[in-house]
Amino acid sequence: MKISFPYEEKPSSIFGFIKRPIAKVRFWSKKYLRWLEYTMIIDTGADYTLLPFSKTKDLGINPEKDCQRYLSFGIGGAEAVYFSKKKIKIKIGKWENKIPVGFLEKEDIPPLLGRQKCLDLLDIRFFKFVTYFS
């Protein structure tokens, strides 16, 4: 598999604009029985993949039955995360795998693509504001 994604430029209150490494990631939806695509920040510092809580509805996940609630600690303090009991099927280009996914109770975070069973298994290169997967 070889696929690349240009960085995404976003406004920043500190820097004016900032470029972030992103990937288009497809998640299998049990609700719609099809792939749903999300633009995610590639976060090599994230232990696992994290989505906003509202994505549980899109993916057909019942947080009360299908997830375990944990407290996650990060730069913003402690937040509730609903961690899926089952791994979720994803695709990046032609690469496909089942990965652990957490859903943050807050909605004001961008989707983050983390290391566990995902970035740790891929050859990734960041070069001149483009991310290359192979």
Whether the Cβ atoms of residue 63 and residue 53 lie closer than 8 Å to each other:
yes
Domain count, the chain: 1
Residue among 75, 119, 73, 123 at smallest CA distance from 100: 119
Residue 64's alpha-carbon distances to 43, 61, 68, 83, in angstroms, are 27, 9, 8, 10
pLDDT over 90 (residue 56): yes
- Residue span of the structural domain in which 13 resides: 3-133
Do residues 101 and 39 touch, judged by C-beta distance below 8 A? no
- Quote the pTM value: 0.91
Query: What does the pLDDT look like over 89-119, one tens digit per residue?
Result: 999 999 999 999 999 988 888 999 999 999 9
What's the CATH number where 22 sits?
Answer: 2.40.70.10
